Copies of this chain bind each other. A is one copy, B any other.
Amino acid sequence: MGITSHDVARLAGVSQPTVSRALRDDPRVSMATREKVKRAAQALNYVPSEAGRTLSTRATRRVGVIVTDLTNPFYPHVIAPLHDELSSLGYRMMLITERSDEAVAEEKLLDQSMDGVVLATATTDSRLPAQLERRGMPYVFLNRDTGRAGDFASVVDNEGGGRLVARELVALGHRRIAGVFGAANTTTGREREMGFRLALAEAGVGLPEDRVVRGAFEYDTGYRALPVLLDAAEAPTAVFCGNDVVAIGVLNAALAAGVKVPDDLTVIGFDDLPMAAWEVFRLTTVRHDLQELSRQAARLLVRRIAKEVDPAGERLVLPTEFVPRATHAHAR
């Protein structure tokens, strides 16, 4: 069935090691032999076996990417550039979408079937990083990290982004403000909330608990949050959402409830997904470079695999920018 380097060697009239060297352009093999071997390989349609190479070199040129929910519109925009960057660095991508840490770690990550791992949906209480650490498996965080020192992570200036939004809302005259923040066990959720709260506090604007909702970064979180917020003692005139997907949930709920955006309610997102620019939304949001975020993570992981990395950890932080569109207005 499979053609091996031995078959090529036989046809070319050389030894198997020479085939191995010739095809990788090892300078120790003479030009003449190299050509001869390559012609033989070509003739046989030889493709080196990945398994054999892996066993011999102890490198798989494969990287795992862990994501909880792929159908969340956010992740494809992370995974696509991640794939492309990894690919151009000579690595392939194994996609792993799992709910629970444990099974993944034992079965799939520790059997030496990949050289490293990208954690795209880490929570601060996950035990996975520690397990990877213990096994010496290189890994990096993408978008979210643990918030602890020593992480290798490609992240966004979430706190700065939260501040940006708070200042804009205050400048627009909003005082009854609400937040639909991300889950408390994610750094993205916590940091955006933190920056937002700090900047509000600096401006002397309060954020009472009945105008705060927290939940997963999902459509439903936003969709279900709006009615709750409208029920608050003092209904908000503006809502800052943990990310665009949540904001889109809020916008849809607003439409269902007959709440006019931005006249009755200002809605702000975070991420600036392509979808946010769609006519039906024209969502005012906070932009960061999602592609670069992913590419950076890929490069960081590859450097970590090569051990060309600061042992004390590296945290690459991308800046944010306020993107005004059509879902914000002055407070009435």
Contact = CB atoms under 8 A, between A and B. Distances in A.
A71 B60 contact: no
Given A71-B274, A95-B95, A55 B47 contact: no
B255 A48 contact: no
Given A51-B51, A93-B94, A112-B2, A252 B278 contact: yes
Contacts of A280: 251-252, 255, 280-281
Interface stretch (A72-80, A150-158, A175-183, A300-308): A72-80
Contact of A279 (B80, B108, B256): B256
A51 B92 CA distance: 15
B251 A47 contact: no
A83 B97 contact: yes
A312 interface: no
Copies of chain A in the complex:
2
Contact of A70 (B83, B108, B253): B83
Interface in A217-261: 219, 248, 251-253, 255-256
Contacts of A54: 51, 54
B80 A112 contact: no
A136 B97 contact: no
Contacts of A106: 47
Contact of A76 (B70, B94, B255): B70
A69 to B, nearest CB: 7
A50 interface: yes
Q: Identify whether the interface residues of A are mostly helix, strand, loop, or mixed.
A: mixed
A80 B52 CA distance: 31
B55 A111 contact: no
Contacts of A79: 70, 95
A7 interface: no
Contacts of A248: 278
A131 to B, nearest CB: 10
Given A55-B55, A256-B279, A49 B112 contact: yes
A52 B51 CA distance: 8
Which of A62, A112, A255 is most buried by chain B, counting CB atoms within 10 A of its CB? A112
A124 interface: no
A127 to B, nearest CB: 15
A84 interface: yes
Query: Top 9 closest A-B pairs, CB basis?
Result: A50-B113, A252-B279, A51-B54, A280-B280, A255-B279, A70-B80, A95-B95, A50-B111, A51-B55
